[in-house]
Amino acid sequence: MSVPSSRVLSDGQVWLADYRRRIEELRGRAERAQAEIAALSATAASPDGAVRATVDSTGTLTGLAFGPAADGLGRGLLAELVVATTASAAAEVSRRATAALGPLLEQR
């Protein structure tokens, strides 16, 4: 027994409408994730408070401050603290970016 062509057409239209709706939903989630990631920044501090570093969503250093504990450090140690603290802030941005992608990757 064959299915009437009008039913096949109707079923195809329903499928296509649902597919378009799912694509629009995915596009919306992608745009929200992109905006959230672009706005990310994170600040980290060294354990002794000598260094505070802030990075943006790309991991670029956007802020650097030295606390009183920095005064007694040599240049080499201070430089190492800047690098390590900046890396900690960048890791936090990366963690948040991964979390922001979660809704985009959810299966529906």
pLDDT digits over 89-102, tens only? Answer: 999 999 999 998 88
Instruction: Specify which residues 56 forms β-bridges with.
Output: 41
Tokens describing residue 43: 């600040």
The DSSP symbol for 47 reads T
Per-residue pLDDT tens for 24-81? 988 988 888 889 889 999 999 999 999 999 999 999 999 999 999 999 999 999 999 9
Is residue 50 exposed (0-12), middle (13-18) or buried (19+ Cβ within 10 Å)? buried
Instruction: Break the chain down into helix, strand, coil percent, rounded to 5.
Output: 65, 15, 20
